[in-house]
Amino acid sequence: MGNNILVILPHPDDEAFGLSGTLAKLIVDGAHVTYACLTLGEMGRNMGIPPFANRVTLPVIRQAELEESCKAIGIQDLRLLGFHDKTIEFEDQPRLDGVIGSLLQEIKPTRVYTFYPGYSVHPDHDATGTAVVRTIQQLPLEERPEVHCLAFSRNCEQELGSPDVVEDVSMFMVQKMNSIQAHRSQFQAAELLGEKQMKAKEVEQRFGTERFWTYTFA
């Protein structure tokens, strides 16, 4: 009953550091989460340390990693949208908006998570956030879900102000660490966390808080 959450991000692993704890928390509280991942991150340059992926196997490996991450978080519904990595900004706009619009129609989320347009560093991140905001803006006011955005450009706090949503996810460190570690082709963090055994307190300090900016429609 009005507890659907829709996450729209371009790359497998975008969820891990930024909002896996928040999602785990929402799911424990009864939310149903759909994660729509636009690409398989198939153009990524990291192949694991030591490398275990190559250009051909990378998308398959990253899909499996993403599935494992979703399982760790408890995400019930993963959608792979099949757009091309690194080119979201050049996608046919009506097509991209159409896909996002259909998801909104189907899921009727009360809240959407995405990247803050213009403050998310990678062009795919910004283009995804822009498309999500543009599509939601087309909806009648009363049908618009709230939009919680991730932002991490250097100027984001200066320009957007402090994040208005700060989630304490310290109770969800297990899910979050498992989500991060699932992406073993991408993160040295897997080594960092696994082998050096960061102290629980250190982990909490670094990862125990997740921050979002609620998007304000003009």
Stretch that binds Zn ion, among 7-15, 25-33, 90-98, 154-162 (CB under 5 A): 7-15
211 scored as a contact of Zn ion (CB under 5 A): no
Place of tokens 């340059």: 45
- Out of 6, 7, 11, 160, which residue is the one contacting Zn ion (CB under 5 A)? 11
42 near Zn ion (CB under 5 A):
no
CA distance 92 to 97: 9
Residue type, 194: G
Cα angle 163, 166, 172; round to 5: 145
- Burial class of residue 39, CB neighbours in 10 A (0-12, 13-18, 19+): buried
The residue among 4 and 53 lying less far from Zn ion, judged by its C-beta, is 53
Q: Is 14 a residue that touches Zn ion (CB under 5 A)?
A: yes
Count the site residues for Zn ion by CB under 5 A. 2
Tell me which stretch binds Zn ion (CB under 5 A): 5-13, 72-80, 84-92, 179-187: 5-13
- Residue 4 or 39: the one with the smaller Cβ distance to Zn ion is 39
Q: Which helix (H) or strand (E) holds 80?
A: strand 77-80
Residue owning tokens 């198939």: 42
The distance of closest approach from Cβ of residue 3 to Zn ion in the complex, given in angstroms and rounded to an integer, is: 27
Nearer CB in complex with Zn ion: 138/188: 188
Binding status of residue 126 toward Zn ion by CB under 5 A: no
Looking at the Cβ atoms of 17 and 207, the one nearer to Zn ion is 17
> What is the CA 158 to chain-centroid distance, rounded?
23
CB 173 within 8 A of CB 17: no
**CB of 97: closest distance to Zn ion in angstroms?**
20
Q: Which stretch, 9-17, 61-69, 79-87, 195-203, contacts Zn ion (CB under 5 A)?
A: 9-17
Distances, alpha carbon 189 to alpha carbons 72, 85, 209, in Å: 16, 22, 17
- How is residue 105 written in tokens? 């129609």
Region binding Zn ion by CB under 5 A among candidate stretches 14-22, 90-98, 142-150, 165-173: 14-22
- Residues lying near Zn ion in the complex (CB under 5 A) are found at 11, 14
